[in-house]
Chain A
Amino acid sequence: MIECHGVTYRSKGPGRTILDGVSFTIPAGQWVSIVGANGSGKSTLLKLIDGLSLPSDGVLSMGGTILTRDSAYMIRRQAGIVFQNPENQFIGQTVLDDIVFGLENRALSREVMHERLQTYAGQLGVSELLYRHPSTLSGGQMQRAALAAVLAMEPEVLLLDEVTSMLDGEGRSEILDILRDLHATGRYTVVAVTHDIEEMLASDRLLALHDGTIVADGAPKVVLSDEALCRKLSIQLPFTRRLAIALEARGIDVRGSWEEKELMDALWR
């Protein structure tokens, strides 16, 4: 679905190389987490995938379409992107206006817009909020509305840039549940830049970036088992996992558990 070959991105101005020779392939329906310390190029990569910028070198493609200045528009039609700050991507004066904004851009008919509005606002639980001004919404509600707006355009690819990092615990678990549901439908390829361990563990694959290059690519639990790597990426494992590792080092069999319940089951003799 998404292909990246030797992609390099140099920023204008100081000429810093943000991405250097990045290559990977993402099949349709996969949920990929992109991780790494701040400044490793994660957000830039996401914007390149969406065609919001062009690479300095290398080839990017989505659904078979190679990214060029002219094809960027086509690529953006296949993907929907949600950014980190819920406030700065909310265009409409009400949730309804924001959700239909993308549909109006596509010059869809009123009937189609209405149908999609009902479907996706319902799916994301924002039907009650349709006539509210964004300044009256919580962060979690705004992110759900942003997701509804993106899903309403029926993309094949969902690109998420740290969508939960500015939310509190409740907001974060709301979004995570929604992501799990969306993934389960099999209709979306999800590429999510994230710092959230729970989100990483829920995804299919972890792509770790460091200083603009890929340093790890594999199943989340496998990649995160590398302690040195985690430190390099500034990732801290959840408490239960760290405890499990420490117990293993002391000869206690924890049966490789990651979750609290698993660990308790292993420890309760």
Chain B
Amino acid sequence: MKMTIPLGRYIETDSPLHKLDPRAKVIAMFLYLAIILMMSSLYWLAITAVLTVVVLGLTRIPYQVFIRSLKPLRFLIMFIFVFPIIFHEHDIMDGVVQGTLMAGRMTLFILFTAILTYTTQTARLTQGLECLLQPFRRLGVSPEKWSLMINLALRFIPTIIEEAKVVLKAQASRGVDFAERSWRAKASALIPLLVPITVNTFRRAQDLTDSMEARGFVPGMPRTSYYELVWKGQDTWFIAGCSLFLLCSLAWRLLLPF
């Protein structure tokens, strides 16, 4: 039975964020990252959080979906919150502030990534990334190779996960006890899992290259693209807005004491 793909699932709604050019969203991602990293004030955290929630609302995707995206990392977030409280530098309040800041940053980052992946098809994201990497050609970066690598990985990760589940079940049926206590046993229990997956992946790679060559793929040769990325006015506004927010962040950080 085929399962749904949990990884970076694209959710189709008719929201303004869906209509943005993927390049704009990728650039916004980096700007947002800068904003988060520079944050050192709880007030600014609150303001950023409110704005992020507004953007979340704009996606027309229910809030529960975003909360669910935080679930897998909830223990990490809690740990990040608690750690500075226990190992505080000056006093416990300082620890709480630090904890809240770091946990807050983590949460916001996860949420923004979720916005990105829920509103953009992964193939379009890589297409956008490929486009943005073009200027780095001079530095020896090959945007096409990176794009191909990421696309193939995204194509095969669900398949490999399904295969791994079967191998896991098959080896468990043969007596491999994955619930074994000792670390050495746990490590050796990995071999019956990893070897078949690796071998199958290599074999798959051979078949894939045959298939790609047969369909006329030659690395480096010019290709066209079925999807066209069109930069529109709304994209410029979006980036402008993010950049403005970044400047404000910087200003706050430098000028305000809190």
Contact = CB atoms under 8 A, between A and B. Distances in A.
Interface of A: 47, 50, 52, 73, 76-77, 79-81, 83, 85, 87-94, 96-97, 100-110, 113-114, 117, 133-138, 149-150, 153
A266 B27 CA distance: 75
Contacts of A106: 216
B123 A83 contact: no
Contacts of A150: 215
Nearest to B214: A81
A13 to B, nearest CB: 15
Contacts of A101: 212, 215, 217
Nearest to A137: B2
B91 interface: no
B123 to A, nearest CB: 5
Interface in B118-175: 121-123, 151-152, 154-155, 158-159, 162
Contacts of A153: 215-216
A106 to B, nearest CB: 6
A47 to B, nearest CB: 7
B207 A107 contact: no
Given A87-B159, A92-B155, A103 B221 contact: no
Contacts of B226: 96-97, 100, 103-104, 110, 113-114, 117
Contacts of B215: 80, 101-102, 105, 149-150, 153
7 contacts: A52-B213, A83-B211, A93-B154, A104-B224, A105-B221, A117-B226, A138-B2
Contacts of B154: 93
Nearest to A133: B5
Contacts of A73: 216, 218
A50 B217 CA distance: 14
Contacts of A104: 223-226
Given A102-B215, A105-B217, A105-B218, A83 B162 contact: no
Nearest to B212: A91
A110 B223 CA distance: 11
A87 to B, nearest CB: 6
Contacts of A149: 215
Interface in B195-254: 203-204, 207-208, 210-218, 221-226, 228
A85 B159 CA distance: 13
B211 A109 contact: no
**Main secondary structure on A side of the interface with B:** helix
B218 to A, nearest CB: 7
B122 A93 contact: yes
A136 B2 contact: yes
B64 interface: no
Nearest to B226: A100
Contacts of A110: 224, 226, 228
Closest 7 CB pairs of A and B: A88-B207, A102-B215, A89-B211, A105-B216, A135-B158, A100-B226, A81-B214
A91 B152 contact: yes
B224 A90 contact: no
A80 B214 contact: yes
Contact of A107 (B4, B152, B222): B222
Contacts of B162: 135
Contacts of B225: 104
A111 to B, nearest CB: 11
A133 B216 contact: no
A81 B121 CA distance: 29
Given A85-B207, A133-B158, A137-B2, 15 more contacts: A50-B214, A52-B214, A80-B215, A83-B211, A89-B210, A91-B208, A92-B155, A93-B121, A93-B154, A97-B123, A104-B224, A105-B215, A105-B223, A110-B228, A113-B224
